[in-house]
Amino acid sequence: ETTKTQLGSARDIEEMIKTCPQHSCSWLKGKSTLFKYQDFWSHEVIIKKVVSAQQSFKARPTDVFLCSYPKSGTTWLKALVFAIVTREKFDESSNPLLTNLPHNFIPFLEIQPEQVVASQENSSFAHVATHLPYNSLPKSILASNCKMVYVYRNVKDVIVSYYHFMREVFKLPMEDAPFEEAFDEFYHGISGYGPYWDHILGYWKESKERPEIILFLKYEDLKKEPTINVKKLAEFIGYPFTIEEEKAGVIESIIKLCSFENLSNLEVNKNGYANEMIENRLFFRKAKDEDWKNYFTDEMIEKIDNLIYEKLGAIGLVL
């Protein structure tokens, strides 16, 4: 394993990345290359920022981390947390979520480190997102006992969501990006921040040890029972709803504001851009449970079910 202390300059980091295992994604026509750093796969630009966050990021005990594997409900979780935390500042018509992509309010540690530092400077308790696996988090996050919310989702729906997101980012129509190849790669653990099962397992193990620090939320449960779960989320991050708020329907209005139906139909989320490569609409595809049924063959179902059973069966997490 690469030790961070050995890496000084940006050049050292580049040299280190060159020594990592590499994979050019065939189904994306070689437009995306992943590198395996520590125990996960990611892009070179991100790994550079990860190394630097691991070396210098200073978490404070009051900072709260929203952790997820990509395509598991990150955008939704960010919207909910922002709406919960700012509920006294805005009403239904003035909430900035109506005119901004939710990602703009809660930056990713390994993608927008400058914004993370700025949000720490602006507030004594920053909300920070990350897709990093638990074992690769900067040590100061663990040492500060920061609270973490982890959202996870059915693996087959994650695969389908990831497939469409990546092929759209690289502007490939479905006929040019074979789903079977995308599945195969994911199945072999090669996907952004993958393997997926290791990602879940890392946070799960820690949440068993320290339940007061990590809240596990399941995407499908959030959908089925939004009120109970949004209440749990608000309490966990230190913004519990009062009885008066509950009676006044504040929880329901937050759920409505952050719903897929509402957010996906906003002008900003239909036509805006997150950055040069990513259109906002890519974060709002269908949000449908079991969309995987339209893509998986019987053989794929059997393969992934067996793998998940082998990897996660012992902990009884239902994916």
Q: Which of residues 285-314 bind ligand A3P (CB under 6 A)?
A: 285-287, 291
Q: Which positions from 50 through 109 interact with ligand A3P, judged by CB under 6 A?
A: 68, 70-76, 79
Minimum Å gap between C-beta 257 and ligand A3P is 9
Query: Which residue's entry shows tokens 């994911």?
Result: 186
Contact 141, 65 (CB under 8 A): yes
Task: List, by residue number, the catalytic residues.
Answer: 131
Q: Is 221 in the site for ligand A3P (CB under 6 A)?
A: no
173-192 positions binding ligand A3P, by CB under 6 A: none
Contact set for ligand A3P, span 146-165 (CB under 6 A): 157, 161, 164
Residue with the two structure tokens 């793998």? 307
Here the tokens at position 130 are 């990350």
Angle, vertex CA 202, rays to CA 240 and CA 207, nearest 5: 35
**Residue 152 and residue 67: Cα distance in Å, rounded?**
9
What distances in angstroms separate CA 93 from CA 99, 100, 241, 254, 257, one per listed residue?
10, 13, 20, 12, 10
**Segment interacting with ligand A3P, rule: CB under 6 A, options 52-60, 122-130, 137-145, 279-287:** 279-287
* Residues that contact ligand A3P, how many (by CB under 6 A): 22
- Minimum Å gap between C-beta 299 and ligand A3P is 22
Member of 284, 304, 308, 319 binding ligand A3P (CB under 6 A) = 284
Q: Which CB sits closer to ligand A3P, 151 or 250?
A: 151
Residues 24, 32: Cα–Cα separation, whole Å: 6
Q: How far is the CB of 162 from ligand A3P (least distance, A)?
A: 8
Tokens 């050995």: give the residue.
Answer: 6
**Contacts for 298-301: CB closer than 8 Å, 24+ residues apart:** 300/180, 300/183, 301/156
Closest contact distance (angstroms) between CB of 63 and ligand A3P is 20
Residues that bind ligand A3P (CB under 6 A): 68, 70-76, 79, 157, 161, 164, 258-260, 263, 283-287, 291
